Amino acid sequence: MPDSFLLPDLIAHSATRSPDATALTYGKQSLSYAELQAQVEAFASGLRGIGLQRGERVAIHLEKRFEAVIASFGTAAAGGVFVPLNPLLKPEQVSYILRDCNVRVLVTSNERLSLLTESLVDCHDLLHVVLTNPEPLPASTWPINRISWSALLAAPAQAGHRIIDSDMAAILYTSGSTGKPKGVVLSHRNTVAGAKSVATYLENMAHDTLLAALPLSFDAGFSQLTTAFHVGARVVLLNYLLPRDVVKALERERVTGLTAVPPLYIQLAQLEWSVGITEHLRYFASTGGRLPLGTLAALRARLPQTKPYLMYGLTEAFRSTYLPPEEIDRHPDSIGKAIPNAEILVLREDGTPCASNEPGELVHRGALVGMGYWNDAEKTAERFKPLPVQTPGREAGLMLPEIAVFSGDTVRQDEDGFLYFIGRRDEMMKTSGYRVSPTEVEEVLYATSLVGECVAFGVEHETLGQAIHVIATPAASTALDTDALLAECKKRMPAYMVPAHIDVRSGPLPRNPNGKIDRKTLATSGK
C-alpha cells in the first residue's frame, strides 16, 4: 500500500484502493473517489494550462461544495498553494488577503464575484477568475481573464511540476494581534501528518461518514476532509442556517463523526436528538475553545453510546492535544495530552521545562509545525522559534536548530502529564470558535468616522466563549449613535466580529505608560 506524502495523495490512494466508494456528498449528489480524483487531476491540469507556476497562490471563495474541495486539492496537485476564504468575509477583507499573498487565480461564483468586483481593482497580481456557474459567462468589460469551471477542467492535459512534501500547500488566514489577518503557511508534510495523526486517535475508518459543518477555511474544518480521505471515508458537506439543520443531517446521512465548536454544541445540546442519530454517531469532537461542562453533560446524556473527544489546537500547528473519552470523567477540565506524532512542552521564559503544575507557555514541536506567517518576518519570529539547547528531545550535539510553535497560551501540566489551559498571553479574543483581533475590530470602528477613540476586548460569555465589548468615545463635538455604529459594523464585518455591546464614554480613554490606550485596565475594571 503506497504511503501519502503529498496532500493530493490522500485522495489518489483512496481512489486506487476503493474507486467506487463515496468520497463526497453535497445535497442529493455524491462523488466517488475515482470521480473526485479525476476532477482533481483535471483542475490541476487546467491551472497549469493557464500558466500557474509552482508555489503561486489560488484563492477559493465559495461555500462548502464540490468545487471548493476539488479546487483545494487540485491546486496542491498543480504545485500551487490554495488559500481558502471564509464565505463570511466582507469584500474588503477578501481583497486584503488576495493582495497580501499575491493571489494569481480566484475561484468563485458569479454571485460572489459581483460583490467583489470593486474591491478587486487593487489586486494587481490577480490574472484569472474561475467561475463555477454554468456557461455562458455574463458580459463584462472587466480586464481580468474569466474562465468557466467546465472550460478549465476540459483543457488539454499539461505536465506537472516537481513537488515534495516540504513545499507549501496552503495558506490559512487567521486574525492577528495587530489587526490585519495573518496567513499561516502549511506544507504538504503538515497537512498529511495532521490527517494521519487525527485519523489515528479518532479511529476513523473507511466505513465512517463525517459531517463537514465547520468552514473549510478553518484548520479543523479542512481536517474533516483530510482525515476522511486518508482512510477512504465519506464526507458530507453542509452549509447550515440553523442548528436544527445539523441534527437533521446527522440523521439523514447516518453520520458517524461530528466535529464542531462549543457555541454550536451549546445550541445542539438544547435540541432533541432522534434514536437514529444515537445508533450511528460514533464520536463527537469539540475544538476552538472550552466546551462548558454542562453542555458536555447534556450531550453525553443525549448520546450515551457516542464517544466525546475534547481537542485543543492552533492554526500554526493544526492540532496539538486531545482528551480521550475514557479520561473525561477523571480530568474534565483538561485539554489532554499531545496528539500522535507531536510533542507538547511547557516552558518557562528562559526556555527551561516547567515543573509539574507550574504555569508556563505551551510549545508544540513536530511534523505539524507550520512554515510561519506569510510575508511577515516579525510575527513569525514571535511564534516560530528555535527550541533551546537541551530542551527535551534536543541534545546539545545537534547543531541545526529545530523550529517549534510558541503558542502564547499559558498552561500547566500535572503529575500524570495532563495539560490544563490557564489563559492567553496576548489580547486575542475567542468568539464563536473564531480568533478575533481587538485591533482588527477597532480599525473598522475608526473607519466609520463615528468614533473618536475606541477599545475592544472579550468578555466571558456562556454560549459564545467570549462576547466582543467595545468602549468608545464620540467623534469631535458629536454624539455617538450606537445604532448607526452597529449598522456600519454589520456592513463591514462578518457576523461573528460585530460587537455585542458598545459602552459610550466621554473620553479621553486612559493611557498606559507608553501612551497607548490601556486596554487591559479598561477590560478588567471598566474604568
Euclidean distance between CA atoms 410 and 202, whole angstroms: 26
pLDDT of 246 over the 50 cut: yes
Domain-located, residue 390? yes
Residues 20 and 152 in one domain: yes
Residues 479 and 420 in one domain: no
What's the grid cell of residue 398? 545537534
Region 191-199: mean pLDDT is: 97
Domain-located, residue 203? no
What confidence score (pLDDT) does residue 314 get? 87
> What is the span of the domain harbouring residue 402?
342-426
Euclidean distance between CA atoms 71 and 41, whole angstroms: 10
pLDDT of 38 over the 60 cut: yes
CATH value at residue 472:
3.30.300.30
Residues 52 and 163 in one domain: yes
Given 187, 218, 235, the domain boundary residue is 187
Q: How many folded domains does the chain comprise?
A: 3
514's CB contacts (< 8 A; 6+ apart) are none
Element (H, E) at 360: strand 360-366
Residues 24 and 167 in one domain: yes
For residues 437-451, one letter each, b for 16 or more C-beta atoms within 10 angstroms of the residue's C-beta and e for the rest, the string is bbbbbbbbbeebebb
Domain-located, residue 158? yes
Minimum mean pLDDT range among 83-97, 130-144, 250-264 = 130-144
Bridge partners of 286, per DSSP, are: 260, 310
CB 39 within 8 A of CB 31: yes
At 59, give phi and psi (nearest 5°).
-90, 145
Q: What does the pLDDT look like over 276-309, one tens digit per residue?
A: 999 999 999 999 877 878 889 999 999 999 999 9
Residues 72 and 135 in one domain: yes
Residues 24 and 151 in one domain: yes
Domain-located, residue 84? yes
Domain-located, residue 211? no
Euclidean distance between CA atoms 413 and 336, whole angstroms: 9
Residues 56 and 172 in one domain: yes
Q: What does the pLDDT look like over 317-348, one tens digit per residue?
A: 988 999 999 999 999 889 999 999 999 999 99
What confidence score (pLDDT) does residue 139 get? 63
Residues 369 and 410 in one domain: yes
Given 426, 457, 490, the domain boundary residue is 426
pTM metric for this prediction: 0.85
What's the grid cell of residue 311? 481537542
Q: What does the pLDDT look like over 156-170, one tens digit per residue?
A: 888 788 999 999 999
CATH value at residue 395:
2.30.38.10
pLDDT-derived band at 140, boundaries 50, 70, 90: low
Residues 54 and 178 in one domain: yes
CB 357 within 8 A of CB 413: yes
pLDDT of 177 over the 60 cut: no
pLDDT of 513 over the 70 cut: no
Euclidean distance between CA atoms 213 and 46, whole angstroms: 29
Given 379, 407, 426, the domain boundary residue is 426
CATH value at residue 95:
3.40.50.980
**Region of 432 on the Ramachandran plot (φ > 0 left; ψ -120 to 50 alpha; else beta):** left
Q: What does the pLDDT look like over 496-510, one tens digit per residue?
A: 999 999 999 887 788
Look over the chain and give the mean of its residue pLDDT values, rounded to a whole number.
Answer: 91
Domain-located, residue 231? no
Residues 491 and 365 in one domain: no
The helix, strand and coil proportions of the chain, stated in percent and rounded to the nearest 5, come to 30, 25, 40
166's CB contacts (< 8 A; 6+ apart) are 187, 188, 189
Domain-located, residue 519? yes
Q: Mapped to the 3 state alphabet, what secondary structure does 178-216 carry?
A: CCCCEEEEEEHHHHHHHHHHHHHHCCCCCCCEEEECCCC
Residues 145 and 176 in one domain: yes
Region 36-48: mean pLDDT is: 97
What confidence score (pLDDT) does residue 183 get? 96
Residues 353 and 391 in one domain: yes
Minimum mean pLDDT range among 12-16, 94-98, 247-251, 315-319 = 315-319
Q: What does the pLDDT look like over 347-374, one tens digit per residue?
A: 999 899 999 999 999 999 999 999 999 9
Whether a cis peptide bond, with omega within 30° of 0, leads into 136 is yes
What confidence score (pLDDT) does residue 514 get? 46
Higher-pLDDT residue of 148, 134 = 148
Domain-located, residue 62? yes
Max mean pLDDT among 433-437, 448-452, 511-515, 518-522 falls in 448-452
What confidence score (pLDDT) does residue 486 get? 93
